[in-house]
Structure 1
């Protein structure tokens, strides 16, 4: 199993199929593969050795995709960089995994000097932009033009393919080591369940530096799809691309989907060609999901659950369950069933399997499980206990094998000795018409240990009081789960991948306490 294999097959099966569409540039698979092989030759000529890490700091683009595959072709390891990070955070990731190469576009070219001066490992910068080539860098287009195609190194199986840094939802990011086998197995397993169309048209709007974004490129190329790439998520750009490029499938996190549906010109666009709407990376509440289904009735919805450490997918809820019957049965709010090559268990604090319907920690085993955290053996051992990846997610499994993700274990609130899962309270809050977004956390309480606290973003300057919240929740959840305090904010802290950063909210309440939650 090697991640460049689909490129070789594309030259035989779909050489004239459009591979990439981005900012006016279009390349067939024949051109795409040739550019990759020549860029790989340029990397080798500049000193890239097998196993060297190549960091990529760029908005989404066709050149980003070429840099990924050229790195694999030349025998290197990709290190996609979070575009929201500060120079100091980027330098940390570069030096942590000892990246020697950096690919950077126009947007981030002003960071070249701070990064090269601050990093101990970085020695070669590839400029992937359209302006004048910055001093001391090598132009990507020059490398493509000036080099002949090289033979594929064919790194495969357990060879390291990527160091993907976690989103930092619980603090300091860790470098997750994913092999060719990990990423290839994820693609095979996902396709076996999702049955996505061959030679499709795939829109890439989620950030490529995120494992879901990188994974979507790998899976779409494996199916010889046309990859329509927009630099970064913007609701109107998504709508225009779906209509104008005949997009058949895309992946959005729930926050993005909410913004697309709320766009004032949403109804003006023809989205009838969209057949597959994939979502994941954070929970989708039933109100938003049903609204999306009604707004895009021809799109089959599909949920993927997983994490960076799982390459990233371990369960899929197919479009067959995104129906009225699926909603009524409760299956639509599950994360689906495990991929064919993946085992899932729900365990207690002693790693014992709990009965179906009982909440515990979700653990997974199979070829999608990471090799470990870069240079962090203790944290690796803690996560991969007894051969199972411990996700840190609380959930349960029903008698039909469907997995339900309840919350992050660390998001559990203990109030007066009772366990409250914040996702359940958030689901209740999101049924209020005034509530656009919300986050529920536990805050210090002298009497109860922790108090259920709701932070809310309201719709269109709506007004909301704690009394209204309590009265509403009383009809839906147990009394001890009802928020006892309320805060209205303009926005919630989110990671670049759209994940809610609850630890930032907690820090405001727990930073001066002996007991911390994170």
Structure 2
């Protein structure tokens, strides 16, 4: 298959159906198909050819959706960039992938101006309604001035995109994903029968450059979704969109779910249309999940575990599983397109219940990191992608992810998984958010250190927090020190940047 195939299918079936709703602007399937074809022609006129990289730096919009399709139509490779990156980070990625064209929205035009001369980008296209600034090309102008061209229709194992990891562990790496990778993940998720609603309305509030939302977008293309697109996440924006457009499905990261659950006005919105809330990207605290299920009592919750390198889904925890108390902390079972195993330090499959490194195999596994063969070889071995996550499988094949291996704390020769401690701490009524890291300790090697965003200005002592956790955690897992902060550093994908927290404290 190829990325634009669902668009051709939709044009033939029902071209008048609304495909995108963005900022009050509604575009039909037929209109979108015409615009995508003309945009692809415009890219070709700018010199874009087979395999050339076209970078995209923008917040969510219907034009973002059109660009993803148009780059594939032109037989090029799309490179979605993190819209929260600083100029140096953007410049690094552009130079690393040797992008020939950069497409930006007006909010990121200043960044484009800074990095253009440092990266070899030949043309900058600006998503704007009016005239483009000097030295750039207008997005709408590019569409209006070019006649439609034939779709390249090249997919399967050809490179679809380069997706840069968030850089939480250092310099970003470009993950190479093919058309087949994305479709394997999308079809496998849909085969579960509990992922997105056929012919429903899919809300995009999480950033579309991130694989979690982009993969949901691909699934929506396949089953006839109308894509309701917000340029940024706000709780009022999400709740208003659900009510106004009868949204059936939404993908959110746990930090977004927490903000929704804390929204004092949430109860006044009609969210009865919401069939499903998909979440993933980082662990969901039990207290947050409980609050969200109370806010959306009619909604099924689905957890997806994976990563960019897996396009991105590896396991799924369905809505029925959420009603089984022992499974709430699980990441679900292997999705239909994936094999999952846990490997011990000797490289052997770990026994049931034993913690080891999670490894995944399937047609959704990346082809490798862009121009990084050594790093590719470290994580891709014998067909398996070694995730760097620690976890275990139970007797029914449910996966329990306990931590990133690099975030594991070794205190007094005992392993402590920070996510486990965070899950308990998050249930304390005075804790709005928290992160647990290991800090050097003369006696214990490392000590368990809790960094807490307080709720309502309350600051429980370390003894009070240890007492709260004592019945739920072994003694060596209890926090030995605690500090209070106003906020935690969060990546655009909604993950707490623990590397930043450690660097600031060591």
TM-score normalized by the length of structure 1: 0.96
Taking the aligned partners of 1:46 and 1:267, their CA distance within structure 2 comes to 50
Q: Does the aligned pair in 2 maintain the 1:162–1:177 contact within 8 Å?
A: yes
Report what 2:464 is aligned to. 468
Shift of 1:350: 2.4
Trace 1:65-464 onto structure 2 (pairs within 5 A): 65-119=65-119, 121-193=120-192, 194-323=194-323, 326-327=324-325, 330-464=326-460
Shift of 1:14: 2.3
Shift of 1:195: 4.8
Q: Does the aligned pair in 1 maintain the 2:195–2:302 contact within 8 Å?
A: no
Secondary structure at the counterpart of residue 99 of structure 1: coil
> Which of 232-241 and 108-117 deviates more?
108-117
Taking the aligned partners of 2:361 and 2:375, their CA distance within structure 1 comes to 17
Report what 1:62 is aligned to. 62
Report what 1:514 is aligned to. none
Secondary structure at the counterpart of residue 322 of structure 1: helix
1:508 aligns with 2:481: no
> Which of 9-18 and 229-238 deviates more?
9-18
Shift of 1:214: 1.7
Taking the aligned partners of 2:490 and 2:244, their CA distance within structure 1 comes to 30
Q: Does the aligned pair in 1 maintain the 2:315–2:331 contact within 8 Å?
A: yes
Taking the aligned partners of 2:126 and 2:252, their CA distance within structure 1 comes to 28
Instruction: Please list every run of 5 or more consecutive structure 2 residues that lacks an aligned counterpart in the other structure.
Output: none
Shift of 1:478: 0.7
Q: Does the aligned pair in 2 maintain the 1:14–1:224 contact within 8 Å?
A: no
Q: Report how many aligned residue pairs link the two structures.
A: 505
Q: Does the aligned pair in 1 maintain the 2:195–2:278 contact within 8 Å?
A: no
Q: Does the aligned pair in 1 maintain the 2:459–2:484 contact within 8 Å?
A: no
> Which of 436-445 and 103-112 deviates more?
103-112
Secondary structure at the counterpart of residue 350 of structure 1: coil
Report what 2:493 is aligned to. 497
Taking the aligned partners of 1:114 and 1:79, their CA distance within structure 2 comes to 19
Taking the aligned partners of 1:425 and 1:369, their CA distance within structure 2 comes to 31
TM-score normalized by the length of structure 2: 0.98
Q: Does the aligned pair in 2 maintain the 1:287–1:430 contact within 8 Å?
A: yes
Taking the aligned partners of 2:504 and 2:47, their CA distance within structure 1 comes to 47
1:486 aligns with 2:482: yes
Q: Structure 1 195/502 Cα, relative in aligned 2: closer, same or farther at 3 Å?
A: closer
Taking the aligned partners of 1:299 and 1:331, their CA distance within structure 2 comes to 18
Shift of 1:217: 1.8
Shift of 1:146: 1.7
> Which of 308-317 and 142-151 deviates more?
142-151
Taking the aligned partners of 2:428 and 2:241, their CA distance within structure 1 comes to 32
Q: Does the aligned pair in 1 maintain the 2:196–2:219 contact within 8 Å?
A: no
Taking the aligned partners of 2:94 and 2:269, their CA distance within structure 1 comes to 42
Secondary structure at the counterpart of residue 487 of structure 1: strand
Taking the aligned partners of 1:226 and 1:37, their CA distance within structure 2 comes to 19
Taking the aligned partners of 1:16 and 1:474, their CA distance within structure 2 comes to 60
Instruction: Please list every run of 5 or more consecutive structure 1 residues that lacks an aligned counterpart in the other structure.
Output: 511-518
Report what 2:15 is aligned to. 15
Taking the aligned partners of 1:452 and 1:265, their CA distance within structure 2 comes to 37
Shift of 1:131: 3.9
Q: Does the aligned pair in 2 maintain the 1:176–1:373 contact within 8 Å?
A: yes
Q: Does the aligned pair in 2 maintain the 1:106–1:131 contact within 8 Å?
A: no
Provide Cα deviations, 1:303-352, integer angstroms capped at 9, x if missing partner. 000000000011111111122xx12xx11221111111211010012220
Taking the aligned partners of 1:468 and 1:452, their CA distance within structure 2 comes to 15
Secondary structure at the counterpart of residue 238 of structure 2: helix
Secondary structure at the counterpart of residue 319 of structure 1: coil
Taking the aligned partners of 2:322 and 2:467, their CA distance within structure 1 comes to 31
Q: Structure 1 236/360 Cα, relative in aligned 2: closer, same or farther at 3 Å?
A: same
Taking the aligned partners of 1:315 and 1:399, their CA distance within structure 2 comes to 16
